[in-house]
Every structure is written in structure tokens, then in C-alpha cells.
Amino acid sequence: MAKKVPQRVEDNMEGTTVYNIPFPTGDDLSILKQMSPIVIKFPYSIDYNFSYGQDSPFFAALTNKRFIVSREPTTGYTYATPRGHDMYTGKETEWVEIKPEGKIHAFTTCFFGSEAFLDQTPFILILVEFEGVDTLFLGRLVGVDPEAANIDWIGKKVKGHFLRNSKLRPTDIYFNMVD
């Protein structure tokens, strides 16, 4: 005897369920050209298995409350934001520890933001310049009133502090003004 298989899809209440969208009852379908569009909503969520790859030691350093940067071994060109290979010589960089103390190169207060950060607004972004380092580092400035943003902030000294509980994010370090 043949195996019995379902002959119909069972109705359920998952996802979008609608009733009675108006539709012509006769043969004349031309009015459909005037129909309003149908818009549906659906979620989209993914868990990535993302590797920091050659930049991983930087995050390991942050969890140990240390700050390391990338230096080209022959020219000494130093990147505040980790970079595995130098953009000029193409050589592999080496890790060097520095004190996370520097100056504000540029800043802004974000009153709006991406959805992921909306609940943190207003927050202050700064690009930090470190003595003897050729490039900048993007971080958060805390401890000052975001609403008091002032161009005089540029050049102010800042010092990095580490989160007690690392999140393995560049925000494991944040900055305060020191003067």
C-alpha cells in the first residue's frame, strides 16, 4: 500500500496573516493597477563567527589593561590602530606597547546614531593622537558634558582607561580629559 502523504498545507497563524484584501469580483482586473502596494515586515538576524585574525593580540592586550600599537620594524612608522602590514614597505609590523595618553585630534558629539548605538546617545567620538605615533585611534570620550561640545576640545590631553570587564571590542578602552 502506498505511503500516505499530506495533500494540503495546513493553515497556521505564523508570519503575515491577512483577511479580505479587496479584489475585483468580475473579469475586469484593470483596477488592480490602482491598488496600493502591499508592505510586509520580517526580521533578519545572524550570529557571525568573526575572527580578529592578526589583530587579535590588540584585544588580548585590552583585556589585560594594556595598549599596544603596530610598528614597522625598519622605518619605525607606527600605527595607533592595529595594522598587520605596513602600507609603505609592505613589511609585517611588530607590536609595541605605549601608554594610552595623547591629545584630541578631532571629535564630535553624536546626538543620533545607528540603531545599535541609539540608546547611548549623546556620545562623544574622538580621534586620538599619541606622541611618537604616526596615525590616530578612534575612541569614546567620557567625563565631559556632550552638550558642551566646543572646538577648544581639540588639542586637549586625554588618558585611556580600561573596562573592568572586557567585551573584546575597541571600546574596552575609553578616554577622559586630563586637563
Partner 1 sequence: MRPVYVVSGGVSKFAKARPDKTFQGIVKEAYDYALADIGIEQAQFFELVDGSVASYFSDHFTRQLMAGIMAQDYLGLCPKPSHRVEGGGATGGICFQEGWKNIASGYMDICVAFGFETMSHVETWKGNEFIALASDISFDYPVGGFYSGYYAMMVTRHMAEFGTTVEQLAHVSVKNHANAFYNPYAQKRQRLTIKDVRSAPMVAWPLTREDICVMSDGAACVILCSEEGLNKLEKATGKTYPRVVVSGIGRGTDAMRMSDRPHQSFDDFYKYNALPTEETDEARSYYKDLWKKGFRYPGVHSFRAGRMASRQAYQNAGITDPLTELDFIELHDAYTSSEIQTYEDMGLCRYGEGGQFAVGGKTFMPGIDYGLKLKDKPECPVNPSGGLIACGHPVGATGLMQGVFALWQLQGTIEKHFKDPTLQIADAKKGAIHSHAGTGTYVTVSILEKAS
Closer residue to partner 1 (CB): 29 or 148: 148
Which residues of this protein are in contact with partner 1, per CB under 8 A?
Answer: 37, 39, 44, 50, 52, 55, 79-83, 87, 105-118, 120, 123, 125-127, 134-140, 149, 151, 153-155, 169-171
Of 69, 59, 178, the residue nearest 132 (C-alpha): 69
Taking the complex as a whole, the smallest distance from the CB of residue 1 to partner 1 amounts, in Å, to: 45
In angstroms and rounded to an integer, the radius of gyration of the C-alpha atoms of the chain is 27
Nearer to partner 1, 87 or 178 (CB): 87
Between 27 and 138, CB nearer to partner 1: 138
Virtual torsion, Cα 23, 28, 33, 36, nearest 10 deg: -10
The total of other beta-carbon atoms located within 10 Å of residue 149's CB is 15
At position 130, the amino acid (one-letter code) is: F
Cα separation, 129 vs 151, in Å, equals 16
Nearer to partner 1, 140 or 159 (CB): 140
